Amino acid sequence: MKTSNKLLLGTGICIVLGIFSFAFIMRGAYQKALVNPVSREVRIDLKAVKYLSIKQLSDIHFKYGKKFEIEVSRQYKDSLTIDYQGDTLNLNVENVGETTIYSPNLPILTITNAEKKSTAEKEIIIDEEEDEYSRFDFDSTLNSGQIQATFLSHASVRLYKCKVNNVDIKTQKGGRVSIEKSEIKNLKLNLANFSSLSVAYSKIQTKNVILGDSSNINIRGKELQANFLK
């Protein structure tokens, strides 16, 4: 075989091998992307603090985590404001959207609504008579020992399958608190006027519940009804 033919044959083999190698590499990269897609959420580490003050507009979920973190949408992470003042962490998540906070032990919470402004006049348009509530869910994985929170806005608070020693919650006018399938040693609630409390199929050892005027209470479960309403 002529030298020129050998060179052509060798070049052809190299090209074919190169095509197959490239296809193999691309296939591996594609499969890796499927296994490890870029998450739409991002977690940000937080310093452990005693008090946590949150300014928000959207819903917040509290879940158990081995370390103190906040999870937000990746596209809004630059809108998150984190400010430490001594043993207090101030979080402003009004432009972040739905938020999840992970913690082995929840700090003492104070939660307020951020100001809703109209795009035209830039005036506050929050109306206390409107049925606008922010939801706060305490996840079933959260066994933090205590949940202590003050809500300074229209809030709908839900404890579902939580197992904690102490719950101390204070709401403003029209607050909603729901406790379902939870175990609580000491329950302390201070609910303002026009509030509602729903407790279903839960075990509560001791309680101190203050309901404001025109509030309502709904208890489900025979044993719970007999003990809770004493």
What are the pLDDT digits (tens) for 129-144? 344 667 899 988 877 6
Left if phi > 0, otherwise alpha if psi is -120 to 50, otherwise beta: which for 101?
Answer: beta
- C-beta separation of 158 from 135 below 8 A: yes
Over 90: is that where the pLDDT of 184 sits?
yes
Percent of the chain surpassing pLDDT 90: 48
Q: What is the average pLDDT across 74-93?
A: 93
First to last CA, the chain: 104
**Of residues 111 and 4, which shows the higher confidence score?**
111
What integer pLDDT is reported at residue 2 of this predicted model? 52
In this structure, of 38-42, 46-50, 80-84, 172-176, the range with the lowest mean pLDDT score is 38-42
pLDDT of residue 221: 84
- pTM as predicted: 0.72
Torsion, Cα of 168, 169, 170, 171 (10° steps): -170
Domain spans in the chain, listed from the N-terminal domain onward:
1-37, 41-228
Residue 173 pLDDT more than 60? Answer: yes
Q: What is the pLDDT of residues 15-58, one digit of tens each?
A: 544 544 544 444 554 454 444 455 788 999 999 999 999 988 77
The reported pLDDT for the residue numbered 123 is 32
Mean pLDDT rounded to a whole number for the chain = 79
Q: Which residue has the higher pLDDT, 179 or 127?
A: 179
pLDDT confidence tier of residue 11, bands split at 50, 70 and 90: low
Give residue 129's pLDDT.
39
Task: Decide: 179 and 169 in contact? Cβ < 8 Å.
Answer: no
Give the residue among 187, 199, 94 at the shortest CA–CA distance from 146.
Answer: 187
Distance CA 8, CA 69 (A): 61
Identity of residue 15: I
The pLDDT assigned to 131 comes to 47
The 3 state secondary structure assigned to the chain is CCHHHHHHHHHHHHHHHHHHHHHHHHHHHHHHHHHCCCCCEEEEECCCCCEEEEEECCCEEEEECCCCEEEEEHHHHHHCEEEEECCEEEEECCCCCCEEEEECCCCEEEEEECCCECCCCCCECCCCCCCCCEEEEECCCCCCCEEEEEECCCEEEEEECCEEEEEEEEECCCCEEEEECCEEEEEEEEECCCCEEEEECCEEEEEEEEECCCCEEEEECHHHHHHHCC
Neighbours of 191 (CB within 10 A): 25
- CATH number for region 41-228: 2.160.20
